[in-house]
Amino acid sequence: MNTRVGLLAIILSVCVNATLASAQPIPVNLSYSAPSGSNSPSWMAKELGLFERHGLQVSMIYIGGGTRPVSVMLAGETDFTIVTGPPSVLARLSGGDTVILATFINGLTVSIVARPEITKPSDLKGKSMAVSRFGVIGDFATRIALRRWGLTPFKDVSIIQMGGLPEAFAALKAGAVQAAAFTPPLSTDAKRQGMVELLDLSGSGIEFANTGLVTTARYASQHPEATRRVVRAIVEGIWAFKANREASIRAIQKYTRVADRGVLEETYGIFRKDLRTIPRTTDGAIRRVLDGFVDDDPRARTAKPADFYNTRFIDELEQTGFTKELASRYPDAVR
């Protein structure tokens, strides 16, 4: 009975707030951390007016480098950030109250690309690789790849922080580094400019908390309605992305500043496949992230994955029938 009453309360709250949405928009500051197609749900929500539909007034801010946007959010300068799992997990291990609300992609959509003179992984010995920052998904992918090739990170191959993915891309093209980890469209663009793909981890089957929506536990507790609306708008952005090819390609082009139509189409195809319509975070995806921190932080070994994420707002989408509504509104999303 209590469960039924609680469900009815949620439904009533959603209906009432949907009615008030246009009259009382909630201001929200949202950052995203990379010009990667994995951020498309937020770009679509912005470009199609989905934030406004859900009663929000959202200021979107680009803050390059996976750890920086989390630090800015913890300082109270933003309310939410779209970032990969590692920076959020690391911040919580270090005493922050970050919490992952949704994980758009569960896996590693990362390619290791190298300059043309690097024809095989062993050629990287004694060379340098670029990542945006330590502790981000590209850093994880780089270390996974090197160990798979029998190379020891920092001993056999230097790993250099560049500050952001555009900076890493520029360093690779200039020859300042010999390889780097990128997600589409940068990985696709690099290959089209003559770089060599040494490893594509997207088909590795590794469960991993990739790009998702992060806030602080304090904000979610103090502003549950704003949090609810942001989650709804972002999830609708996923469905809209999958259902509307041309609008999605325009959004990718605008936010990544990539003009090549072929690169844009390939990027869209990759993320249409990888983005999950119900982006629920899992223990396994967080456990993989924690395992990557064990050598540097012993607390990661005994940490409980459930402490790093909250599925409450994603669960509500199904309980209230919102996902069924999206399936009806965007039938092409699941085809």
Residues 6+ apart with CB under 8 A from 12: none
Give the pLDDT score at 5: 44
Number of domains in the chain: 2
User: Do 239 and 217 lie in a common domain?
Assistant: yes
Are 312 and 213 a contacting pair, CB within 8 Å?
no
Least confident stretch, 16-20, 224-228, 284-288: 16-20
Mean pLDDT of the chain: 91
257 and 173 together in one domain: no
Question: Final residue of a domain: which of 203, 236, 256?
Answer: 203
Together in a domain, 123 and 271: no
DSSP assignment of 73-138: HHTTS-SEEEE-HHHHHHHHHTT--EEEEEES-BS---EEEE-TT--SGGGGTT-EEEESSTTSHH
pLDDT of the residue at 15: 54
Q: Does one domain contain both 283 and 192?
A: no
| Together in a domain, 214 and 88 | yes
Looking at residue 295, what is its pLDDT? 78
What angle (nearest 5°) sits at the alpha carbon of residue 168, between those of residues 200 and 31? Answer: 90
pLDDT on residue 1: 44
Domain that holds residue 194: 111-203
pLDDT winner (highest mean) among 54-58, 152-156, 162-166 = 54-58
**pTM for this structure?**
0.83
